[in-house]
Structure 1
Amino acid sequence: MSNLNKLDFTALEVSGRNYLKWVQDVKLYLIAKNLRLTIEEEIDNPVGEAEKTTVMIFIQRHIHDALQTEYLVEEDPRALWVALVDRFDHQKDIFLPEERHDWQHLCFQDF
């Protein structure tokens, strides 16, 4: 993966194994740069082309090369975000309850 040099955080893997962490990192970065509106629904949120391009470049840099190739036709950061959410967001339903369960049992083991 040639795009992994000097990344702000770990790139999204093809398997989506690090999706939950990746989403959190991207959202925090976009909030810090005041670009969050580019991935949200456009309800009276006029976003300039420069901001969209900046976010598109950022997201493309932080996904695996195979995902870049797969979503090559996406030109809007909102459309790319929705496509990635549709593909990987089911992990919240699968992994979060399991992790909460493991954490609760781990806390009881400490005592």
Structure 2
Amino acid sequence: MGFDIKIAFASRGLLATIQEPQAGVVLQDKHIYTALALLRFYIHKDLKSEYLMIENPHELWVALKDRYEQQKELIWPEANHEWNHLRLQDFKSVADYNHVVHRICSKLKFYEKEPTDADKIEKTLSAMLLSDRVLQQQ
């Protein structure tokens, strides 16, 4: 959400509404309410009521960022567990396996712990059944 919103706000000239307030910079009401409308548009419907009373785009941005940072802490263990328990034989096709590898690696990249290409190859080879590895070696 963060990068998409920053791009959307920058393209509309609203980036100052979610940044730290600067001395001497006065934001127009039109920009403030446009920014609030955009932020609330991107909030999941189940969370909208939780943030309904915040009328400052910067405060809303910070509150959402704090919540997102807490969610990040839950993603890392899950992604690490998925990586450690990934097995090729659990998938119908190599394409399905590759799709899941890419998804997990994207999560791990977010934490700057993305596996190297060598790690991915090693994971694929170690995730194969022993009989498949014998066939591959032959």
What TM-score does the superposition give when structure 1 sets the normalisation length? 0.67
Hey, which of these two has a bigger chunk of helix by percent?
Answer: 2
One-letter amino acid of the structure 1 residue matched with residue 31 of structure 2: E
- Could you tell me which residue of structure 2 aligns to residue 102 of structure 1? 114
Which residue in 1 is equivalent to 2:4? 25
Structure 1: 5+ residue stretches without partners: 1-21
CA deviation string 1:32-72 (max 9, x = no partner): 11110000111122211110000100111111111111101
CA 1:102 to 1:62, structure 2 compared with 1: closer, same or farther past 3 Å?
same
Following superposition, the deviation at residue 102 of structure 1 comes to 2.8
- Partner in structure 1 of residue 13 of structure 2: 34
State the distance in 2 between where 1:26 and 1:86 align: 16
Match of 2:30 in 1: 50
Query: For structure 2, which runs of at least 5 residues remain unmatched after alignment?
Result: 77-105, 122-138
Counterpart residue identity of residue 51, structure 1:
H
Q: Which runs of 4+ in 1 moved over 4 A?
A: 94-97
Q: How many residues are paired up?
A: 87
1:46 and 1:39 mapped to 2: Cα distance? 13
Identity of aligned residues (%): 27
In the alignment, the residues of structure 1 paired with residue 30 and residue 115 of structure 2 have an alpha-carbon distance, to the nearest angstrom, of 43
**Which of 41, 47, 53 is equivalent to 1:61?**
41
1:59-98, aligned counterparts within 5 Å? 59-90=39-70, 91=72, 95=76, 98=108
RMSD of the alignment, in Å?
2.4
